[in-house]
Structure 1
Amino acid sequence: MRIIGLDIHRVFAEAVALEGASLKRLGRIGMTRDHLAAFAAILEKTDHVVIEATGNATAVVEILAPHVARVAVANPLQVHLIAKAKTKTDKIDAGVLAQLYAAGFLPEVWLPDEATLARRRQVTRRSQLVKQRVRLKGIVQSILHAHLIPRCPHADLFGIKGRAWLRAQYLPEDEREAVERHIGEYDRLTEAQKGVERDIARAALDDENVKRIMTAPGIDMVVAVGLMAAIGRIDRFDDPDKLVAYIGLNPSVRQSGDGPAYHGRITKRGRSNARHLLVEAAWQAVRAPGTLRAFYERIRARRGNHIAAVAVARKLAVLIWHMLTKGEDYAWVRPALMARKMRALELAAGLPARRGQRGASYDYNLPEGRRADRAIAEHAEGAYRRMTQGWRRKGPGHGAGAATEERR
């Protein structure tokens, strides 16, 4: 069996073949479809190819996989930790990939299916559009600041009232033209974002896992789709701790010999987009009554706001693993609020509005409906507070963060 390592760059890849104990340089291959197809044609059906996970790794796998026995994709961070060396060349890097694979030490990554890849691309497009819109707002704010104009008294500077206030401010002619150009670009990006969100919502309408995740507090369509794009298949994770580690919400641990384990900040390894979405969802969840708010306040009393929010995000990840694995909705789901989320999903997908008709989300518009819906969460919060009322924290050095609790 021949193992071929490819060290991929932007315009070329360095190829090295491992046969037995000897390494043989195969030369450079252009990173285009034609060049890769020509290289694939000279490979044998028994060959194994090893590459690192890069932005174009999926396309490389698609071209090479039909011509060889297997294409393995390595985790670049873990390969770097294993194979760190003083001498570094493209040939050495490709050879290291082949040798690690031959020895059974290659840390591989999961290759998502086409549907998951498409969802990840859509989530990334939306995230890029959001960042560009935020950047344009920042540019306009900097122009106002440079000309001693106070902060806008309205919540949204680019809203109807904010734009009317902006037009009433004194600005030099060139600065005013620049602001108008930025507003026009902002509107164009807003329409593009709506189009991407429409495509995301249409795919989410038929996804039971997305709708199941949305039953949890603080999670809307955008967060649910972003999490499913990162997770792919939940059966990849044998237990919730593995999902937490995949998202990078697990605490770092340092221990030597028989001494105690010291837990530090979260690792922040893995899917950063999913981690950011979960933290945002955590901040939303703790604003409403429920078990997560009670949990947040218990941790906040000892560790502060930000650590408590990250603890809630980790709790949400564990909760999502159980919901997807068991095929069950959130136990304390608020029916009227969930109906409202689903209606927002339908409208985002472009389904027609039903003005004058009372749908399932109508109860949330009525004060008594919202009170009844809220009572479910308040009951759960009260039960959690009573359960944890007699808990106390262990002494120092007996665990990490939110997990260092026991009964009296």
Structure 2
Amino acid sequence: MANNILSVPKFERFVAGFENSLVYIGLDVHKRSWSVALLRPDGEVADLTMPPEPHTLIQMLQSLPVTVGMIAQEAGPTGYGLARALQCAGLPITVAAPSRIPRPVSPTNKTDRLDCRKLAEFAASSLLRPIAIPSEHEEAFRILVRRRHQLTDGLRRCKQRIRGLLLINSAIEPDHLDHWSKAAIEQLHQLELAPATRQTLNSHLRELAFLIEEQQSIDKQIKAQAITCGQQNRIERLKTADGVGHVVASTFAAELFHPERFNRPEQVAAYLGLAPMVRESGGKHDRGRLRPVGQKRLRSLLIEAAWIWRAKDEQAKAFYDRLLSRSSIPQKAIAALARKLAIKLWRLSLDPATA
């Protein structure tokens, strides 16, 4: 490494004469190394590269005779362990979503050294919008819930492969295969096929059985972990809404942790990607498509739940029909109903003692 942790005295010399001044730190975090930049009040920046060791970074920053105004880090695959360690050490940390970090219009050079310097400058200019940092239990619960969705995707692909195999071999699908009942799966085992095709189908059926069993196991673990991490009461409150079952409720609780961080319903809708983008130019005003942000899975689940809510609740159906009569676009009407459902779930997820 060009500038490793042994060059920490460089930072000490760099801040000499700026004792007790406010400095800003930028971190570009990777699996094998971290790039650290320190921005002085006069606008000068020094940087170094160090091993990925939180305690070493904390000791280094705490040993400097300056006040850390803010530490900026870009969210990424390394998770939130470093951010939590900095918080526990009493150091201010901002984790910013990559999509919300200012980017140059035209292509420019990109290195770890430049990235950490830019983060320090953005932190000093208050140009970064922080995202919520989950606790260790909250992050573990969210990972478990997302694993459940991975298994659901795997099940869907496995079923598609089975149906594709039957189609390409001109085999007749068993009755009730749309519901994948035990009887239909048993009929798949009894189909007369060529030996190699039979072996392929058997392999798919073993994969299907594994995925079903694994999903059931994960469902049990989610319920147990909900109790352990204090989410059980919140999930039960969410399930009182029409159209919301355990999957939607647990996903909402996992993805929308710390619901009290939202001050207005509009913020919740924007976070979930259910807020339409507003375009206004030359006196023309248009509310277009939904804002393309994260939370695609939860947004999809909320739209599915909105269809069920519409079928069960007359007021929800009237709301949907009223919007449909205006736009004549079912997707817009159901997205608006899903937005209404999301806001309802946000209010239910708030602690009754503080709501």
Is 1:117 the counterpart of 2:139? The answer is yes
C-alpha deviation, 1:276, in angstroms:
1.7
Q: Which residue of 2 aligns with 1:292?
A: 316
Is 1:104 the counterpart of 2:129? The answer is no
Q: Which residue of 1 aligns with 2:60?
A: 42
Structure 2: gaps spanning 5 or more residues: 1-21
TM-score, with length taken from structure 2: 0.82
Q: Which residue of 2 aligns with 1:11?
A: 32
- The answer to whether the 8 Å contact 2:26/2:117 transfers is yes
Distance in structure 2 (CA, Å) of the matches to 1:271 and 1:118? 17
Partner SS for 1:226: helix
Structure 1 residues 42 and 326 mapped into 2: Cα distance closer, same or farther (>3 Å)?
Answer: closer
Partner SS for 1:255: strand
Deviation by residue 1:249-307 (Cα, 9 ceiling, x = unmatched) = 000011136x1421100103242232122112112222224311222223233333222
Amino acid at match of 1:218: G
Is 1:303 the counterpart of 2:325? The answer is no
C-alpha deviation, 1:118, in angstroms:
2.5
Name which of structure 1's ranges 163-172 and 232-241 shifts more when overlaid on structure 2: 163-172
Q: Which residue of 1 aligns with 2:200?
A: 178
- The answer to whether the 8 Å contact 1:140/1:182 transfers is yes
Amino acid at match of 1:101: A
C-alpha deviation, 1:188, in angstroms:
1.9
Structure 1: gaps spanning 5 or more residues: 329-408
TM-score, with length taken from structure 1: 0.72
- Find 2:287's aligned residue among 259, 263, 283: 263
Amino acid at match of 1:125: R
- The answer to whether the 8 Å contact 2:38/2:46 transfers is yes
Partner SS for 2:101: helix
Partner SS for 2:193: coil
Distance in structure 2 (CA, Å) of the matches to 1:191 and 1:256? 54
Q: Which residue of 2 aligns with 1:248?
A: 273
- Find 1:274's aligned residue among 295, 298, 303: 298
Q: Which residue of 1 aligns with 2:18?
A: none
- The answer to whether the 8 Å contact 1:252/1:264 transfers is yes
- The answer to whether the 8 Å contact 2:30/2:78 transfers is no
Q: Percent identity?
A: 28
C-alpha deviation, 1:243, in angstroms:
0.7
- The answer to whether the 8 Å contact 2:162/2:201 transfers is yes
Distance in structure 2 (CA, Å) of the matches to 1:208 and 1:287? 26
Distance in structure 2 (CA, Å) of the matches to 1:286 and 1:149? 38
- The answer to whether the 8 Å contact 1:254/1:263 transfers is yes
Distance in structure 2 (CA, Å) of the matches to 1:40 and 1:327? 38
Deviation by residue 1:4-60 (Cα, 9 ceiling, x = unmatched) = 211223433322221231111212x344xxx44434432326444211111323122
Distance in structure 2 (CA, Å) of the matches to 1:63 and 1:212? 32
C-alpha deviation, 1:88, in angstroms:
2.3
1:184-223 to structure 2, matched below 5 A, reads: 184-204=206-226, 207-223=232-248
Deviation by residue 1:82-132 (Cα, 9 ceiling, x = unmatched) = 787523222221111100101122111111233322221121111111111
Distance in structure 2 (CA, Å) of the matches to 1:203 and 1:60? 24
Partner SS for 1:109: coil
Partner SS for 2:163: helix
Structure 1 residues 323 and 260 mapped into 2: Cα distance closer, same or farther (>3 Å)?
Answer: farther
- The answer to whether the 8 Å contact 2:242/2:313 transfers is no
Calculate the aligned-residue CA RMSD, in Å: 2.5
Distance in structure 1 (CA, Å) of the matches to 2:247 and 2:25? 40
- The answer to whether the 8 Å contact 1:237/1:243 transfers is yes
Partner SS for 1:228: helix
- Find 1:237's aligned residue among 240, 262, 268: 262
C-alpha deviation, 1:227, in angstroms:
0.7
- The answer to whether the 8 Å contact 1:296/1:312 transfers is yes
Structure 1 residues 304 and 66 mapped into 2: Cα distance closer, same or farther (>3 Å)?
Answer: closer
Aligned residues: 323
Distance in structure 1 (CA, Å) of the matches to 2:345 and 2:258? 12
Structure 1 residues 323 and 42 mapped into 2: Cα distance closer, same or farther (>3 Å)?
Answer: closer
Distance in structure 1 (CA, Å) of the matches to 2:182 and 2:349? 42
Deviation by residue 1:128-163 (Cα, 9 ceiling, x = unmatched) = 111112121122122112112244431447432212
- The answer to whether the 8 Å contact 1:7/1:93 transfers is yes
- Find 1:159's aligned residue among 177, 181, 199: 181
Amino acid at match of 2:253: M
Q: Which residue of 1 aligns with 2:111?
A: 89
Structure 1 residues 168 and 177 mapped into 2: Cα distance closer, same or farther (>3 Å)?
Answer: same
Deviation by residue 1:284-342 (Cα, 9 ceiling, x = unmatched) = 222224311222223233333222221110110122234345849xxxxxxxxxxxxxx
Partner SS for 2:311: coil
Structure 1 residues 310 and 26 mapped into 2: Cα distance closer, same or farther (>3 Å)?
Answer: same
- The answer to whether the 8 Å contact 2:303/2:334 transfers is yes
